[in-house]
Amino acid sequence: MKNVSIVVSTRPEIIKMAPVIRALQKSKIQLIFVHCGQHYDYNMSQQFIEELELPSPDYQYKVKAHSQGAQTARIMTHMERLLKKTSPALVLVEGDTNGVLATALAAVKLGTPVGHVEAGLRSFDLRMPEEHNRRLTDHVSTYLFAPTETAEKNLKRENVWGKIYVTGNTVIDAVIQHLSIAEKKSKILENIHFESFALATAHRAENVDNLTVLKNFMETFAEAPIPVIYPMHPRTKKRLQQNRIYTKIKKSENIQILPPVGYLDFLVLMKKCEMIVTDSGGIQEEATASCIRKPVLVIRLSTERPEAVKSGFAEIVGTEKHRILDAMKRTLKQRKKLPRKSPYGDGNAAEKIAKIIKEELAG
């Protein structure tokens, strides 16, 4: 059997592909592991690879670009050259980043089949670069691994050409596989100033590149009814510094800013916190894992994870300060009972994907 090329570009992709890498190795499928370079610094990527005890990438690039288009083009150039050299039977990508789209396009242009893990997600918000990336990737993929029936319906509605399989989401596999390791290895709680806290993240371009929204978030965290632990994305820190807000926020007694934390540390913070306030998509899924089960306030106008909302784990609260604060107060006061079962599967998604790939490539 020919090689399968697994390509990642950011830390969420590394996390979600980790169970797939293990499942493919278990199935004796030969792998080429590639980091195409969208998140190129140690804290944002290599740290995660080491923590999850994954093999070092066979090939990796560092792509610095000042625009979405330039970044996508540079990754395409690298990946076209690499795919010509390695000739995999299948290229496997995950999610909705520029690296995912660039890799998928490079593969298709060379006639190499693409498998898209986490296919079919839709926010229906075209301001988001991720929405363009995932839609385009779905429409050039040969195999579409949809995490839920909702995602499958989205794909069928758009008449995608590839084969659709509902597998569950590998992010649940990752949480289940790694939480016990995290609780043994992580020492993050020794550095946390608060016994009870909310965990916050904010990094999306449509939020942090909008000064009004960014200020809303910072004021919200400073005035929150519970202390806020805030691992800060480099993009967010840069925007705060550019607008001369960072020093003031760092002095707030209600906010503890952390540098980007490793995945194992983040799992422990999710397990320990009272609630999560985020604009991340993946965190909305992780919070539903049976071993985490935390309420999530989504500080966006839409979500491509409607299952988290429908099941009661997540609530879309927008980007205005008063709405976020009201939701935080309500969440603390009501303490509603969350479902025992995740809408994103039982933790066996990666094994299902590996089995499908083995059968398809053998056929």
Report residue 41's pLDDT band, with 50, 70 and 90 as the boundaries. low
pLDDT of residue 136: 98
pLDDT of residue 1: 58
State yes or no: pLDDT of 156 exceeds 80: yes
Look at residue 341 and tell me if it is in a domain. no
List the catalytic residues.
203
Q: Are residue 112 and residue 207 in the same domain, yes or no? A: no
Per mean pLDDT, which of 121-130, 217-226, 227-236 is the most reliable? 217-226
pLDDT of residue 178: 93
Whether the Cβ atoms of residue 148 and residue 104 lie closer than 8 Å to each other: no
Kindly report the pTM of this predicted structure: 0.90
Q: Are residue 156 and residue 16 in the same domain, yes or no? A: yes
Look at residue 79 and tell me if it is in a domain. yes
Q: What are the Cα distances from residue 7, in Å, to 10, 106, 231? A: 10, 12, 26
Provide the domain limits for residue 278.
179-334
Q: Are residue 310 and residue 354 in the same domain, yes or no? A: no
Q: Are residue 109 and residue 212 in the same domain, yes or no? A: no
Residue in the structure block whose two tokens are 């990666």: 350
Burial of 157 (0-12, 13-18, 19+ CB in 10 A): exposed
Q: Which two tokens stand for residue 293?
A: 């089960």
What is the percent of the chain with per-residue pLDDT over 90, rounded to a whole number? 82
pLDDT of residue 46: 74
Any bridge partners for residue 275, and if so which?
198
Q: Are residue 201 and residue 324 in the same domain, yes or no? A: yes
Q: Are residue 285 and residue 322 in the same domain, yes or no? A: yes
Look at residue 265 and tell me if it is in a domain. yes
Q: Are residue 197 and residue 129 in the same domain, yes or no? A: no
DSSP 260: P
pLDDT of residue 188: 97
Q: Are residue 114 and residue 217 in the same domain, yes or no? A: no
Q: Are residue 126 and residue 203 in the same domain, yes or no? A: no
Look at residue 318 and tell me if it is in a domain. yes
Which tens digits make up the pLDDT trace of 130-140?
999 999 999 99
Q: Are residue 14 and residue 96 in the same domain, yes or no? A: yes
CATH number of residue 357's parent domain: 3.40.50.2000
Look at residue 174 and tell me if it is in a domain. no
Q: Are residue 253 and residue 303 in the same domain, yes or no? A: yes
Instruction: Give me the number of domains the chain comprises.
Output: 2
**DSSP per residue over 37-98, as a string?**
SSS-SIIIIIHHHHHTTPPPPSEE-----SSHHHHHHHHHHHHHHHHHHH--SEEEEESSSH
Higher local confidence (pLDDT), 337 or 276: 276
Look at residue 173 and tell me if it is in a domain. no
State yes or no: pLDDT of 66 exceeds 90: no
